[in-house]
Amino acid sequence: MTAKLTIDRTVCGGGGLCAITYPKLFRLADDGHAVALATELDDTDDIAAVEDLVACCPTEAITLTSG
Ligand code: SF4
């Protein structure tokens, strides 16, 4: 299974929940909005973690689509 991670940086409110929770794939850039450190995911642990963050992101900025 593969999946594509995207972050809508125009919607991201900062705060860094994703970067704190899963720094392997997320960090806050200097402008205070999150960036993805990888977008094409094939690790099931990564995909599961991102699925959780899709549900938890307070501004619904994170999207995961099947690859
Ligand atoms: S959890 Fe959502 S709103 Fe918060 S920094 Fe990450 S993408 Fe932005």
Q: Could you give all domains of the chain from N- to C-terminal order, each with its CATH number?
A: 3-66 (3.30.70.20)
Nearest ligand 1 atom, CA 59: 3
Q: Is the CB of 12 inside a 6 Å radius of any atom of ligand 1?
A: yes
Q: Is the Cβ atom of 25 under 6 angstroms away from ligand 1?
A: no
Give CA separation, 1 vs 22, 28, 38, 41, 57, in Å: 20, 27, 16, 8, 23
Per-residue pLDDT at 28: 98
Compute the distance between CA of residue 21 and CA of residue 17 in angstroms, rounded to an integer: 6
Query: What is the value of pTM for the model shown?
Result: 0.95
* pLDDT tens-digit readout, 8-46: 999 999 999 999 999 999 999 999 999 999 999 999 999
- Model confidence at 1, pLDDT cuts 50, 70, 90, reads confident
- Tell me if 4 sits within 8 A of 65, measured CB to CB: yes
**38 C-alpha vs ligand 1 centroid, how far in Å?**
15
